[in-house]
Structure 1
Amino acid sequence: MTNQFRQDPLSGDWVLISPARAQRPENKEHIPFANHDCPFDDPQKTGQEKPVAIYAHGQKTDIPDGWTVQVLPNKYPAVLPGQCGPVMEQGLFSVAAGVGSHELVITRDHDRHFANFTDEEMAEVINIYRDRYIALSADPCTAYVMIFHNHGVLAGASIFHNHSQIISLPVIPPQLQRMFERSDVYLKKTGKRLGEELLAEELKNNRIVYKNQKFVAYCPFASRSPYEVRIIAVSPRSDFGALSDGDVLPLAEAMREVFGRLDKVLNDPDYTFYFHTAPPRATDGALDWHIEVMPRFSPAAGLEFSTGVFVNTVDPDEAANKLRSVTL
Structure 2
Amino acid sequence: MTHTARRTLAGVTAAGLLATALGVAVAAPATAAPSGSALGACRISTLPYPADTYRAGANVIDPSGRFIAGDALRKTEDGNQYLLLVWDGQRLTEVATPRLVEAVDANADGVIIGNGTVAGGIAEPWRYRDGRIEQLPVVPSAGIGVTAINEAGDIVGHGTDLATGEFFALRWPAARPGTVEVLDAPANAMPTGITANGTIVGVAGDFGSWTSWVRRPNGRFDALTAPGAQTSVVGPAAGHWAVGRVDLGDLNPLKVRWDLRNGSYTALDQQLLLMEDVNVKGVVVGGDRVARGATSRVLPGASEGVGIGAESISDTGTIVGFRNGERLTPVRWTGC
What's the TM-score bracket when you normalise by the shorter of the two chains? Answer: under 0.3
> Could you say which structure has the higher strand fraction?
2
TM-score between both structures, scaled by the size of structure 1: 0.25
From the two aligned structures, give the one with the greater helix fraction: 1
Which structure: larger Rg? 1
Could you tell me the TM-score, scaled by structure 2's length? 0.24
